[in-house]
């Protein structure tokens, strides 16, 4: 079974509603598969993987922030693999 | 007069019906803490037997509501986003909707599915911004889209009292609306009856949900040149064809603004029925989302795919001039 530790969306981050006990969260932390599997990887390897992922995320953020604002004409780009274009909202 | 917000109107309708009829109960996610504000105060007032928080398992609790309704309850099921309707389409369209016929009328399924925030909020992106009311109308499930707080109140009351399944969409673009109302005058609104928000003589604009406000704004802008009648169907299925025909008797010209995807959206059904059965003296037009629209995350892109006032204005001017 999977378990969510962090809030689902921005409102939940702000409001922090309590809908489960600390004990329930702690019990799931104790069997967190990411932590358990991670502990099986040698520390040096794990640090390198973590660094690679942090770097990838940093570059993705920089790419987004330094890219021009997308234009409305491309709002439906990539909707279909073959480039099918449906009709617009007016005629 | 006191101010009534759209969300508060839904809350008042729910509590009034729960007070009036002990069979009315509410199922949904996070309704105890009222994440959507619609169920505020209900848990305290009516208790956990009638205000029941559900696990993140929409298909299961939608079926649970069907069973509860068959057994004599009158459940209101809240879904926080309309995309969840895709998940429970089987439970609504293929089960709840069909039981009355399939049992020869022995079984009724009086469930109300409540979507208190349908459509796009800025940045809610591809999987949270749909407005699948045309799908429900297509299969024949009673479908209401109130635009104003008092209509939200009156239509939710009657949706709950209906013996059939009813889906009520509260448009995200309308839920922040407030209205001066006499609380004592709040009354049930019958399903299937439209409302003329503004009378006019040149062009009828059928506006669905929050787009009623855009239609009224454009009608104001054009007041010196085109007399626009703003018709709000309020219920999409069953649709008030009589009301629309009466409006077209006056104007003979039609524009529909509908925040559905274009193909098979309710706007297409309105144009087709008007063309087949009603008085039109010029080709009608509709303003919709594009075919198959998926709203991107970026603000400008999301807005580009939703019906805009400028598009409505152009469509009205074109239809008004057409011979």
User: For residue range B43-62, what is the model confidence (pLDDT) as tens digits?
Assistant: 999 999 999 999 999 999 99
User: Roughly how many angstroms between the first and final C-alpha of chain A, as a whole number?
Assistant: 50
Other C-beta atoms closer than 10 Å to the C-beta of B217 total 14
Residues B37 and B159 in one domain: yes
B271–A contact, CB cutoff 8 A: no
Same domain membership, residue B213 and residue B154: no
Lowest mean pLDDT segment, chosen from A9-13, A46-50, B225-229, B295-299 = A9-13
Q: Which residues of A touch B289 (CB under 8 A)?
A: 89
In the structure encoding, which two tokens stand for residue B1, read together? 């007069």
All residues of chain A having their beta carbon less than 8 Å from the beta carbon of residue B301 are 70, 72, 74-75
pLDDT value, residue A57: 98
Residues B308 and B218 in one domain: yes
The CATH number of whichever domain residue B25 belongs to comes to 3.40.50.970
Any domain includes B190 = no
Same domain, B111 and B231: no
Q: Is residue B145 within 8 Å of residue B209, measured between CB atoms?
A: yes
Q: How confident is the model at residue B250 (pLDDT cuts 50, 70, 90)?
A: very high
Of B125, B151, B185, which marks where a domain is finished?
A: B185
The CA distance from B179 to B1, in Å, is 9
Query: Does pLDDT of B323 surpass 90?
Result: no
Asked if B246 reaches chain A (Cβ–Cβ under 8 Å), the answer is no
Chain mean position to CA B239: 12
Please give the ipTM for the structure prediction: 0.82
Q: Is A83's Cβ below 8 Å from some Cβ in B?
A: no
Structural domain count of chain B: 2
pLDDT of the residue at B274: 98
User: Does residue B97 have an active-site annotation?
Assistant: no
Do B146 and B212 belong together in one domain? no
Q: Is residue B8 part of a domain?
A: yes
Give strand ranges (E) for chain B: 3-5, 24-28, 51-53, 74-78, 112-118, 142-144, 166-171, 178-180, 195-198, 203-207, 228-232, 235-237, 254-261, 285-289
CB B256 within 8 A of CB B278: no
Cβ-Cβ contacts under 8 Å for B48 (sequence gap 6 or more): B32
Report yes or no on B81 lying in a domain. Answer: yes
Residues B102, B164, single domain; the answer is yes
Per-residue pLDDT tens, chain A, 91 aa: give them: 688 898 888 888 888 888 889 999 999 999 999 999 999 999 999 999 999 999 999 999 999 999 998 899 999 999 999 999 999 999 8
- CA B255 – CA B270 distance, rounded (Å): 10
Residue numbers in B near A75 (CB within 8 A) = 296, 301-302, 304-305
**Residue B290 touches chain A, beta carbons under 8 Å:** yes
Closest CA to B309 of B234, B217, B171: B217
Interface of A with B in 16-75 (CB under 8 A): 17, 19, 69-72, 74-75
Pair (B161, B237) in one structural domain: no
Distance between CA atoms of residues B159 and B165, nearest Å: 8
In this predicted structure, what is the pLDDT of residue B310?
98
Chain A residues within 8 A of B303 when measuring between CB atoms: 72
**Residues B214 and B164: beta-carbon distance below 8 Å:** no
pLDDT-derived band at B123 (thresholds 50, 70, 90) equals: confident
Q: What is the pLDDT of residue B121?
A: 82
Q: Are residues B219 and B180 in the same domain?
A: no
Subunit contact B311:A90, Cβ cutoff 8 A: yes
Instruction: Verify that B69 and B172 share a domain, yes or no.
Output: yes
Residue B134: per-residue pLDDT: 98
How many residue contacts between A and B have a Cβ separation below 8 Å? 61
B94 shares its domain with B178: yes
Last residue of a domain, one of B185, B210, B241: B185
Residue of B97, B128, B197, B210 marked catalytic: B128
Assess whether B11 and B76 both reside in one domain.
Answer: yes
Residues 6+ apart with CB under 8 A from A59: none
The confidence band for B36, taking pLDDT boundaries of 50, 70 and 90, is: confident
Q: Point out the residue among B293, B298, B305 whose CB comes nearest to the CB of A70.
A: B298
Q: Determine the residue of chain B that is closest to A10 in CA distance.
A: B124
Domain limits at B117?
Answer: 3-185
**Closest residue in A to B296 (Cα–Cα):** A75
Token pair 């449906």 in the structure block, residue: A86
Does some domain include residue B25?
yes
Q: Is residue B220 part of a domain?
A: yes
Mean pLDDT of B12-17: 98
Q: Which residues of A touch B290 (CB under 8 A)?
A: 76, 86-89
Kindly determine whether residue B300 and residue A69, on different chains, have CB atoms separated by under 8 Å.
yes
Q: Chain A residue with minimal CA distance to B256?
A: A90
User: According to the model, what pLDDT value does residue B53 have?
Assistant: 96
Please write the tens of the pLDDT for every residue from B68-114. 999 999 999 999 999 999 999 999 999 999 999 999 999 999 999 99
Helical H segments across B162-232, by residue range: 211-221
Kindly state whether residues B177 and B214 are assigned to the same domain. no
Query: Among the three residues B159, B185, B211, which one is the final residue of a domain in this structure?
Result: B185
Here the CATH number for the domain that contains residue B255 is 3.40.50.920
Which pLDDT value is given to residue A8? Answer: 83
Q: Distance of alpha carbon B225 from its chain centroid, rounded? A: 31
Question: What is the structure's pLDDT at B83?
Answer: 94
Arithmetic mean of pLDDT, B158-163: 98
Domain annotation covers residue B82: yes
% of chain B beyond a pLDDT of 90: 93
What is the pLDDT averaged over residues B138-167? 98
Which phi and psi angles does B3 have, rounded to 5°? -95, 130
Question: What is the mean pLDDT of the segment spanning B268-276?
Answer: 98
Of the ranges B33-37, B183-187, B235-239, the best mean pLDDT one? B235-239
Dihedrals φ, ψ of B215, to 5°?
Answer: -65, -40
């Amino acid at each position: 079974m999977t378990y969510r530790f962090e809030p689902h969306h921005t409102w939940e981050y702000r409001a922090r509603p309590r809908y489960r006990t600390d004990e329930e969260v702690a019990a799931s932390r104790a069997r967190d598969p990411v932590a358990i599997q991670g502990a099986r990887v040698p520390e040096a390897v794990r640090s390198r993987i973590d660094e690679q992922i942090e770097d990838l995320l940093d570059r993705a953020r920089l790419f987004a922030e330094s890219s021009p604002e997308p234009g409305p004409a491309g709002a439906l780009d990539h909707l279909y693999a073959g480039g099918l274009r449906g009709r617009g909202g007016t005629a | 007069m006191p101010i009534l917000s759209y969300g508060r109107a839904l809350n008042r309708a729910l509590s009034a019906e729960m007070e009036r009829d002990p069979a009315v109960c509410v199922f949904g996610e996070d309704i105890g803490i009222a994440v959507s504000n619609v169920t505020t105060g209900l848990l305290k007032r009516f208790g956990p037997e009638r205000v029941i928080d559900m696990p993140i398992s929409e298909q299961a609790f939608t079926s649970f509501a069907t069973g509860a309704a068959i057994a004599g309850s009158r459940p209101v099921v809240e879904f926080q986003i309309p995309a969840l309707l895709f998940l429970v389409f089987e439970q609504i369209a293929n089960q709840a909707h069909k039981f009355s016929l399939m049992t020869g009328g022995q079984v009724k399924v009086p469930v109300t599915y409540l979507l208190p925030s349908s459509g796009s909020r800025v940045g809610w992106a591809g999987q949270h911004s749909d407005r699948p009311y045309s799908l429900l109308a297509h299969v024949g499930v009673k479908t209401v889209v109130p635009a104003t707080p008092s209509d939200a109140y009156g239509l939710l009351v009657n949706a709950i009292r209906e013996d059939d399944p009813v889906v009520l969409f509260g448009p995200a673009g309308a839920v922040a609306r407030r209205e001066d109302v006499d609380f004592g005058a709040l009354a049930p609104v019958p399903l299937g009856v439209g409302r003329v928000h503004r009378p006019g003589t040149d062009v009828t604009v059928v506006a669905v949900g929050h787009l009623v406000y855009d239609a009224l704004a454009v009608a104001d802008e054009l007041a010196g040149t085109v007399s626009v009648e703003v018709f709000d169907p309020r219920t999409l299925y069953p649709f008030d064809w009589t009301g629309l025909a009466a409006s077209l008797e006056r104007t003979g010209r039609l524009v529909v603004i509908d925040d559905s995807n274009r193909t098979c959206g309710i706007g297409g059904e309105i144009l087709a029925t008007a063309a087949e059965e009603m008085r039109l003296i010029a080709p009608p037009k509709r303003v919709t989302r594009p075919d198959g629209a998926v709203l991107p995350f970026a603000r400008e892109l999301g807005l580009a795919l939703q019906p805009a006032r400028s598009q409505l204005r152009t469509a009205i001017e074109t239809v008004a001039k057409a011979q």
